[in-house]
Copies of this chain bind each other. A is one copy, B any other.
Amino acid sequence: MTTTRQDGRAVDELRPVTIERGWSEQAEGSALISFGRTRVLCTASFTPGVPRWLTGKGTGWVTAEYAMLPRATNERSARESVKGKLGGRTHEISRLIGRSLRAVVDTKALGENTIVLDCDVLQADGGTRTAAITGAYVALVDAIEWARAEGHVRKNATVLSGSVAAISVGIVKGEPLLDLPYVEDVAAETDMNVVATGDGRFVEVQGTAEGAPFDRAELDRLLDLALVGTARLTELQRAALAS
């Protein structure tokens, strides 16, 4: 199994990952996260109160919106604001990010408050949705601590039950690989996004056969690889939050 990846990485190696915490000076929490050339600006906006349909139920609301700048990619794509509607891919990823973060939030402990996670892809080179989830977690932590300091959340409330990180894995030319950049992603036969907690349990598993269907053994190897990645990302999140 001597794959040579175009960028020289081992099959189970992440691209260089950086997390610039607090990049935005306006938001309650923010992080500019990079996986190689992929760069996503994640902000967490905290607002006291909840949407009307939740009012009075004693629980908070966490939601996410994902978007891509028109020239994040190699060829410019039309703005969704100009087209007047969100594409299916945008919707789907926004929903995935929201679900993933809600999985570690105790909305009762959050109280009747709303947090919106905006994940805007400034530059795209594969793995934007998983970078978004990983960066949004850092922004989320800061927004919750801001809210605690401002008295919107109780001092000793345990709002987060754990951390969450995400990574893509895939099978390229029969070889399972971790953290696919664009060139590997388009060549993958199977493609999987895995969202996991800091203690290694699954929040989301989304595997898709792009070419031939995949068997149980292949699925197992992809899951192994993904957990290696999310464990490493969990460390990087901790380091960023400790700085």
Contact = CB atoms under 8 A, between A and B. Distances in A.
Interface of A: 24-27, 30, 37, 41, 43, 45, 47, 65, 67, 69-74, 76, 79-82, 84-92, 94-95, 99, 103, 116, 118, 120, 122-124, 162, 192, 196-197, 201-209, 212-216, 219, 223
Contacts of A219: 202, 205, 223
B197 A204 contact: no
A82 B65 contact: yes
A24 B71 contact: yes
B206 A202 contact: no
Contacts of A81: 67, 79-81, 85-86, 90
Nearest to A116: B76
B70 A65 contact: yes
A140 to B, nearest CB: 13
B203 A118 contact: no
Given A84-B85, A88-B95, A116-B76, A202 B209 contact: yes
